[in-house]
Amino acid sequence: MSERMAVPLPKAYLLLNHGPTVLVSSAHGDRRNVMAAAWNMALDFDPPKVAVVIDKSTLTRELVEASGEFVLNVPARKIAALTLAVGSESGRGIDKLLKVMQSGIHSDGAGTTAGGVVTAPLIDGCLAWLECRVIPEPHTQKTYDLFLGEVVAAWADPEVFSTGRWHFPDAERRSIHYISGGSFFATGDEFSV
């Protein structure tokens, strides 16, 4: 289980401001799932809102529409292979989290922790987590596959994000940015101007 501390909601946008690829976790009834999403962004400060593209073909879409909830998990470099794996296969018919755990694709597996507010799980091995409730915009969802969410709880690993700042302690605990074809950038060094 990853260590996590609550992030004040007006600071939740900082978890996405630098544009990391995320894992979207979802749950409805006895089903749960996770997929990768590069097309996401912060949308507002307070109350904090996010936007994420969730394609019509995905199981995630079905679970998010049914539950009205999702979690944006910010994966670390050390689970980049997991991120690619859950973004390359649909969870229809399989429990992707279980499969990834059993495949040993990463020693951290894909354990989960219960969220504080929503029922979708928080994925272990991530740096930050944003629990979201869908803000229903049926036209935008149907036409652009774009989902808006209000962040109702936000968490971060305090070794990586605290007092409103990222401070990546090592190469494995950096956020990642998807290019394509299985390649990513890791978040680089901070500089100020």
* Site residues, ligand FMN (CB under 6 A): 21, 33, 35-39, 53-55, 58-60, 83-84, 87-91, 96, 178
DSSP state of 121: P
CB of 192 to ligand FMN, least distance (A): 29
Contact status, residue 56 vs residue 99, Cβ threshold 8 Å = no
Of the two residues 60 and 67, which places its CB atom closer to ligand FMN in the complex?
60
Number of other residues whose CB lies within 10 A of the CB of residue 171: 10
> Which residue in the shown chain puts its C-beta closest to ligand FMN?
87
Of the two residues 27 and 36, which places its CB atom closer to ligand FMN in the complex?
36
Closest CA to 80 of 23, 155, 154, 24: 23
CB of 39 to ligand FMN, least distance (A): 3
CB of 66 to ligand FMN, least distance (A): 13
Non-local CB neighbours of 20 within 8 Å, separated by 6+ positions: 74, 75, 175, 176, 177, 187
CB of 145 to ligand FMN, least distance (A): 6
What phi and psi, each to the nearest 5 degrees, are found at residue 192?
-120, 150
Of the two residues 30 and 192, which places its CB atom closer to ligand FMN in the complex?
30
